[in-house]
Amino acid sequence: MSRAVLSLGSNLGDREGNIRSALKSLALLPGTAVVKASSLYETDPVGCTDQPVFLNAAVLVDTGLSPRALLGACLGIEAALGRVRRFKNGPRTIDI
């Protein structure tokens, strides 16, 4: 079992709902448990600044997944929650 710290961010749609859905999805990953999650906090966008403010959180997970498998699972959660990668630092429904 390994421990990982993940950051989550959303600036499109129901930002809080997107982050909560991502947390629920992370908890459902095989061999993975959410140990602790931070409070939600807002941050200004970086790079492409002409977009909505981000809502962010950090989460601590214990997982039996390899780093590569955890990354793949996070990308799958992003896709399931509607993430479309149009350009670097652009707006997003969820970023893990």
Question: How far is residue 35's CA from residue 75's CA, in Å, rounded to a whole number?
Answer: 20
Residue 79 pLDDT: 96
Q: So what's the architecture of 2-80 in CATH?
A: 2-Layer Sandwich (3.30)
Residue 54 pLDDT: 96
**pTM for the complete prediction?**
0.92
The domain limits of the chain are 2-80
Residue 39 pLDDT: 98
Residues of the chain with pLDDT under 50: none
